[in-house]
A and B are shown apart, each in its own frame.
Chain A
Amino acid sequence: MIRSTSNNNERRLPEELGLQDGKFEVRVLRQDGPGQPSYWQRFLVPYESDMNCISVLQNIAAIARTAEGVPTTPVAWECNCLEEVCGACTMLINGRVRQACTALVDRLLRDRPGVIELRPMTKFPVIRDLVVDRSRIFETLKRVKAWVPVDSYLDLGPGPRQSQENQEMAYVLSKCMSCGCCLEACPQYLRIELTRREGESAEEFERRKQEVYHRAFIGAMGIAQIDLFNTNPIGRMNSTERLEALIAEGGIQVCGNAQNCVRVCPKEIPLTTSIARMGRAATLYMLRKWFDR
């Protein structure tokens, strides 16, 4: 017998995938806007080989009809690279937080025949349908000063030499695409949803939001970014600023060590290792501060 080597090597039978008339059901938890009630909608999507959840959503946008045949608006969702390097298309798929682009339909239907369920992330305010406001993640990057504060962009020669070991550690941490999976899975990372007050200007609202964000938990990705920049040979020179963020309100002490973060990270970043390392760094820093007083 000839062994099949076709790309999606294990071709599935329709029964195994739970298809009906060559279609499968997609349930989407929709919401028309912030503060609006959410509701489920069902869609029937024709099965093709090599599908992922992106092509499912593209398909829904093109048909724009529910399973009952009622015209509806296309589901709103975020995506860009479709290669799992940009982090945009993060959502809950069959209850698990992940990127839609690497969620292959064959595998999903094999594990749960006939149906795929899509929901927005729960730790961020819904803007519409599967689109959530993740600006808090980028605020965290400001808060932990996740950058190398170089003198200028003029030519000042190469950066410091680094060991392979150091590069490998930094590279792994630096692959964080700010997708938010670790935050979604974290019991201590709580959803913050603010609404604009009457008479409050857009700028004032933005400022208030930032202030609230800057006091809330930084989460695993924030801690790992401190680790990254505090081990960078130049970034290390400003480690105090980041250690201050680490021990401030909403810092590492909030972590309850559930270790969910490391299990859901699509880039397999050793988040708990960073948390442990940064926990020690925080303790040392506080002792030093205490003795230096």
Chain B
Amino acid sequence: MSRKARVVVVGGGLAGLSVTMKLAELGINVDLVSLVPVKRSHSCCAQGGINSVNNLTRQLGDSEWKHFEDTVYGGDFLQHQPPVKEMAEWAPRIIDLMDRLGVTFNRTPEGFRDQRRFGGTLYPRTAFAGATTGQQLLYALDEQVRRWEFAGRVKKYEFYDYLGPVLDENGVCRGCIAQDLVSMEITALPADALVIASGGCGLIFGKSTMSMSCTGSAASRTYQAGVRYANGEFIQLHPTAIPGADKLRLMSESARGEGGRVWVPRRPQDPRPPEEIPESERYYFLEERYPKYGNLVPRDIATREIFNICTKEGLSVEKDRLCVYLDVTHLPTSVLERKLGGILEIYQKFQGVDPRRVPMKIFPAVHYSMGGLWCDYERTAEGGLRIGSPRNHQTNIPGLYAIGEVDYQYHGANRLGANSLVACIFAGLISGPGIVQLIESQRRLAAEHPGGIFERVVEQKRKEFEQLLARPSDGENPYLLHKELGEVMTKAATVVRQNPELDQAYEKVCELEERARRCALADRGRWTNQNVVFTRAVQDMYPLAKVILRGARLRDECRGAHYKPEFAMPEITASDAAERRRQAIEWCEKFEANNRRWLKTTIAEFGPDGHPIISYEDVDTSLLPPRPRLYGVVGGEIIEQVWQERQFARV
């Protein structure tokens, strides 16, 4: 490999670091661009763990195929299946690798890695390091990248803002433009491939469980430059977050994985302290409604149930603030300390209440973007991915890649807990060799590209920066505009979605976008100007907000995290056996008709007028035929039976 080949990676979380270390190992020089020192990336917030089939679950009947199946079923069949299958197959090897890299996974008394059970599966597949697994995985990769930095193969650009890709006259990506957030200097970083690994876009919803760097600005700038955005409307809410003034802090699914129970007092707003409410007067609504999965139903379902019990059923613990109890007080001290210490500490630190003694109060919050930049893959005949294919994770712009939460490939309509960490690391490891192949096939490296293209774009970005600084000082306040956007998005596009509300929200967002063009800066300096960074990020939230709203508006169905009551599937209401069967047949027909219409990837392209142009793409479901997702559906047994008969009749 030519020593001059360079790759720029934008984002230093799990995905960005894993592709960086893999590329460095393969002999490629990497420039790593990040808003924050990479060790402080948002991946550190992931708490619960990382999934894979393991020696223990294998003996319970588990396999890579079942991990794949749970992921696809949990995601309501919206993901292309080959990448998911490949990921599930790599997962055990990824955890082995992370183990070798020094991740402090919890151990059994015999010294093996310990595992726990997470949502949407019946097997204890989740390896974990206390309750800060994301932090521990992030640190292990950060250390490896530092090792390569020490060896001179990686150069970090920390405190840099990515302003957009640079495309040549043929529409091929040749690098990107970035701004030093200390000196505010704007520079071009030529690259033979550009990898966007910038994470989620939770800040579009104002407050979420995401970190302050998760503005979606890198994704938005890449989308505005011509990369398609897929399944934008699929936003995961985490069922259990701690409400706060500045942030909604995550309370990990592991609290339920280790036996935590969700409940509300049967008497609305029972004034007694929770520990004085007897068992019989507590409503463990998830356990009662979903006997098979109990508190570990998939996240979209837990979220909806908690939301409904507080709103529709009026059983919120508090009157003014919606919340339910998440109770771990019955668990043995050893479990609390050894396995949940980290997250319980967070609750105590931020709420001033000891969750070991008093049940926690929690409510759903925006948590993860299943959708993201569209990217490709190359399928093998067996239904996996061709290792080393330059198509793996390449977007529709040649030379431009998307990996991690910012891609859309693995989680479909709903992500299973503890699958994001494995997906991020996998995306980095699988895309690395493909990028090397791409570079080897190129005749000319970016550094040798005839000048002009970089200078032009740098000049343009400098001009935009100057214009931003020169705005009149009496304009709109970017912080308030962001707050307003968050309120609109949270109201219209989270747990429950209604078409009229989505239409109104779209109009409102367009209006806010217009107002944001008149944002005034309180700081016009040219040194560490955080005002500029924030204002620019807010401006870039609107195009993505429109993608989310438009996608949600058009998708007239319920799938995973996208829930429109108007288009919900009917329940089986009859008690007479024949009538039940008839209803179930009707149900199955409706289900199939709906899939023909909506089992499709939403594709948004940035239109010339700033509005997204929406189209749909078929989903590769060739490995596992779509079937009804029947967690807790009323009449699920008869639907299941009729469904099986129909499948059998078809063969």
Contacts and interface: CB of A to CB of B under 8 A. Distances in A.
Contact of B249 (A83, A142, A153, A174): A83
The interface residues of chain A, by DSSP majority, are classed as loop
B129 to A, nearest CB: 6
Contacts of B361: 7
Interface string A1-22: 0110111111000000000000
A58 B479 contact: yes
Category for how many chain A residues contact B:
35 or more
Among A6, A84, A101, A174, residue most surrounded by chain B Cβ atoms (within 10 Å): A174
B480 A9 contact: no
B39 A102 contact: no
A32 B523 CA distance: 11
Nearest to B129: A171
A67 to B, nearest CB: 16
B518 interface: no
B40 A161 contact: no
A159 B528 CA distance: 43
A163 B338 CA distance: 14
Contacts of B40: 80-81, 86-88, 177
B250 interface: yes
A170 interface: yes
A33 to B, nearest CB: 5
6 contacts: A64-B522, A86-B211, A153-B25, A157-B96, A170-B104, A234-B102
A146 interface: yes
Contacts of A72: 522
A166 B534 CA distance: 44
B530 to A, nearest CB: 5
Contacts of B33: none
Nearest to B102: A148
B273 A85 contact: no
A78 B101 CA distance: 29
Contact of B212 (A79, A170, A178): A79
B143 A80 contact: no
Nearest to A234: B100
B471 interface: no
Contacts of A177: 39-40, 44, 135
B212 A7 contact: no
B341 to A, nearest CB: 9
A142 B273 contact: no
A167 B349 contact: no
A152 B25 contact: yes
A75 to B, nearest CB: 9
B104 A62 contact: no
Contacts of B522: 61, 64, 71-74
A96 interface: no
B318 A6 contact: yes
A163 B107 contact: yes
Category for how many chain B residues contact A:
35 or more
Given A32-B527, A146-B146, A153-B429, A83 B247 contact: yes
Contacts of B106: 164, 167, 171
Interface in A126-143: 127-128, 131, 134, 138, 141-142
Contacts of A85: 44-45, 132, 135
Given A102-B350, A153-B25, A51 B245 contact: yes
B273 A148 contact: no
B107 A5 contact: no
Contacts of B211: 80-82, 86
Given A8-B352, A58-B479, A87-B40, A50 B244 contact: yes
Contacts of A218: none
B582 interface: no
Nearest to A128: B528
Given A74-B523, A80-B36, A82-B247, A174 B104 contact: yes
Contacts of A229: 102
B346 A162 contact: no
Interface string B109-141: 111110000000000000001101001100110
Given A159-B99, A175-B132, A81 B42 contact: yes
Contact of A148 (B101, B479, B480): B101
A37 interface: no
A32 B135 CA distance: 33
B611 interface: no
Given A76-B530, A235-B102, A81 B147 contact: no
Contacts of A148: 100-102, 140, 143
A189 B182 CA distance: 25
Contacts of B130: 171, 175
A107 B246 CA distance: 17
Among A79, A86, A87, A167, residue most surrounded by chain B Cβ atoms (within 10 Å): A86
A162 B107 contact: yes
Contacts of A150: 100-101, 144
A281 to B, nearest CB: 19
Contacts of B247: 54, 82-83
B102 A142 contact: no
Nearest to B145: A147
Interface in A99-117: 101-102, 104, 107
Interface in A44-61: 48-52, 54-55, 58, 61
A87 B135 CA distance: 11
A155 interface: yes
B274 interface: yes
Given A84-B346, A145-B147, 7 more contacts: A5-B358, A7-B351, A73-B522, A80-B213, A88-B36, A170-B102, A177-B39
B45 A61 contact: no
A9 to B, nearest CB: 6
Interface in B1-31: 21-22, 25
Contacts of A33: 527-528
Given A81-B45, A128-B527, A164 B143 contact: no
Given A5-B358, A146-B146, A148-B143, A104 B352 contact: yes
Interface in A218-249: 229, 232, 234-235
Interface in B344-380: 346, 349-353, 358, 361
Closest 9 pairs (CB-CB, A-B): A161-B111, A159-B99, A64-B522, A147-B143, A62-B479, A73-B523, A128-B528, A86-B40, A171-B104
A187 interface: no
A86 B39 CA distance: 7
A84 B347 CA distance: 11
B22 A153 contact: yes
B245 A167 contact: no
Nearest to A170: B104
B245 A159 contact: no
